[in-house]
Chain A
Amino acid sequence: MFINAMGLILADHKKIQLGELSRPRALAAMPYGGRYRIIDFMLSNMVNSGITQVGVIALSKYKSLMDHLGTGSSWDLDRKQPGLNILPPYINSANVDKGGEIDDLTGLLDFFQAYQYKYVIMANSNVVFNATFDDFVSRHEESGADISVLYNRDSIRYGTPSVILNLDRRGNLRDIMLDPPKPSATRCSLGVIVLDRELLIDLVSESIARGERDFSIEKLIRRYDEYRIRGIEYKGQVLRINNIPTYFASTMRLLEDQIRDELFGSGLPVYTKVKDEAPTLYVEGNSVKNSVISDGCLINGTVENSMLFRGVTISRHAVIKNSIIMQDAFISEGVELENVILDKNCVIRPGIKLVGQQDYPVVIGKGAIV
């Protein structure tokens, strides 16, 4: 409930690209699940754990992320003392003189030093689950490990990057493999770790001293020879977003009652930016089956096995199947879409037909007029 920790979310991941979808935004700001961005889940997990100080490291394309997070008020992180800190790369004047090199890590050090929390929980932005970190932190504390890393038994199912952990009998990390073709273990890192803030400061300072600019969870847990790093299994439902097919598949799994129950029915709220949309109107003649629909939509046509974000208009005689339609899209009369991911603000003109494959959906970029 009141864990003595601060949070740090890495908004980007060098090994994860979602093609056209990540062109305008960081991974963390990727729209997901109808009314959310991926980061909402991790932020809510932290807030629901009683964490009131969260940093978000954004390396590039952070406008969308900043629009979404704002002051953090949607997560109750608009606080006087701690609260939400967006940490974009920061160019200090000394660096500018030397040719304007961007220095990610110095700013980070200031952030860690400003507060006196015992632990830092660090997380990547490609996993979706709903839990508090109370158990994680207390197990970390009990074990006396330097770093603990969450994993589950997903193995390499979600494709690259799958970070497979080899643990010894006592749960200590002995080896790490990235995308092994024949994994010897099923333990796949969730990209969530907890460690002492003091230790993290040491590790970051060391990196700065070595002139390194790269900072990732994978890099930290690679030091299992020097530090005692333990794996802790997370047994709840996890959805991963590693590429477009897994983004598509992870979204479609939200149509299953059991998955929605685990993600949203646990009593731990998932917070997101409030949009004050209208209620969704189902007009005479529509037909909606097995779909998740957000507020502010107007539905005249047919929607099956699909995910509609906020403010989508589906005109008469349009048929949408197995598709993800993001915010404010306008689908004209007679349009047929199947296995399509439509980014925000797209307009599909009357009579257009787009069909993708389940393993390879058609992706239409933000604001396109087709």
Chain B
Amino acid sequence: MAKNEVIAMILAGGQGSRLGVLTKHLAKPAVPYGSRYRIIDFPLSNCTNSGIEMVGVLTQYQPLALNTYIGNGHPWDLDRNKGGAFILPPYQSTSRSDWYTGTANAIFQNIEFIENYDPRYILVLSGDHIYKMDYAKMLQAHIREEADATIAVFEVPWEEASRFGLILTDEKDYVTDFQEKPKKPQSNLASMGVYVFTWESLRKQLIEDDSNKNSSHDFGKNIIPRMLKDGDRLCAYRFSGYWKDVGTIASLWEANMDILDRPEELNFRDRSWRIYSKNPVKPAHYIASSAKVVNSALTDGCSIYGTVEHSVLSNSVTVEKGAVVRDSILMPGVTVKSGAFLDKCIVGFETVIGRNVRAGASVEGTCDYNSPYCQDGITVFERGLVIRDNSVIPGNCMVECSGDQECSDVIESTFRVR
């Protein structure tokens, strides 16, 4: 296949509001994951590893961090002379100027960009899923079946099926129907949000959909059902392997812990399918004589003098002597001072946890920061906070500074994270 016969479009504009303070300053795809990655590293690396060299990244919500992170696409080998990575924000034109109002609308507004390259196929991806997938195989299946659309699906346990968008298929895996989070699931094949379209067919649908005032311009809700109605040929493509949507605090925490608990499934050490990321330029990490590091993932720039158990640490994290970090996720640059105890916490960029702070699931106490987004005892800290020494913060809290009152009984001060 000629290189530019297929263009990948990554939908990276969503706010990810259920991640609370973690997405206050950056879009969900830019959230750190798995010690040395950001979520968007997965679709980007999958593209590169699948031989797709033309990738549009559709951004909208808080795009600064994401744009800076992706840059010219160099870390993913997407700084190509022909093709490469393109950041595609909504823009103003003479006839209209609109935010992206839905997933399908985002692609619709970029028809001109796509047409410039005259591709035969379009791969539509989400910027917020963790998985390793060879899109080339899916494209081959799409071409072989002469389909108008191919939807990647994977089997979920029946009891969880009602949480997903489900695909109903016939015995040949042609799609017969689509159910969005149904109460009574008729299928256990969940859509992964990975679509291959024949551009000609999609183009027609996008233009029709745009003129439909009642449409919410969404692939799952509008485009796929419309194509089914029109008698287009829709195929399901079965994927087996690790796949996780990290849309909530609980699922982000779980997906991180999966690196430790199910290392063979994601296997980042597999050199035939590397996950690329932008390098922080830090020295190798240091484990001191006083440290104990068990069942954890660490990366460059960390200095560990305390105890780290069953945790995922991003680059440049410092854990001082006598501190205990357990079942937690520490994002780049976090400092945990001596005597502090973190249990099931997610700590944002560069936040400093003061001396003898006790926080997280097993900590008893009351707190003003209870949040409906935090479940299972997970406590989240916003980036750029200095937490007061000796603070006690129980589970299910989201510690943040709100605009009008910057400090509180647990937040000593805040600083700007660059």
Contacts and interface: CB of A to CB of B under 8 A. Distances in A.
A293 B269 contact: no
B294 A286 contact: yes
Chain B's interface size range is 35 or more
Interface in B270-286: 274-277, 279, 281-286
Contact of A279 (B36, B282, B288): B36
A278 B269 contact: yes
B298 interface: yes
Contact of A292 (B263, B269, B281, B286): B286
A260 B283 contact: yes
A269 interface: yes
A289 B276 CA distance: 29
A295 B275 CA distance: 13
A296 B297 CA distance: 10
Nearest to A264: B283
Contact of B288 (A33, A277, A290): A290
A292 B282 CA distance: 12
Contact of A282 (B269, B288, B293): B293
Interface string A294-310: 11101000000001100
A34 B283 contact: yes
Secondary structure call for the B interface: loop
Chain A's interface size range is 35 or more
Contacts, number: 97
B268 A280 contact: no
Interface in A251-273: 255, 260, 263-264, 269-271
A308 B287 CA distance: 11
Secondary structure call for the A interface: loop
Contact of A293 (B35, B285, B292, B312): B285
Contact of B269 (A35, A263, A298): A298
Given A35-B284, A288-B291, A292-B286, A279 B75 contact: no
B34 interface: yes
A73 interface: yes
B44 to A, nearest CB: 12
A290 B269 contact: no
B34 A279 contact: yes
B36, B287, B289: residue with the most chain A Cβ atoms closer than 10 Å: B287
B296 to A, nearest CB: 5
B320 interface: no
Interface in B197-229: none
Interface in A219-277: 255, 260, 263-264, 269-271, 274, 276-277
B277 A276 contact: yes
Contact of A278 (B268, B281, B285): B268
A285 B269 CA distance: 20
A283 interface: yes
A125 interface: no
A284 B269 contact: no
Contacts of B109: none
A283 B284 contact: no
18 contacts: A35-B284, A35-B300, A263-B283, A269-B281, A276-B279, A278-B275, A279-B259, A279-B299, A280-B298, A280-B299, A289-B289, A289-B291, A292-B286, A292-B287, A293-B285, A294-B284, A295-B36, A308-B284
Interface of B: 34-36, 74-75, 259-260, 263, 268-269, 274-277, 279, 281-289, 291-300, 312
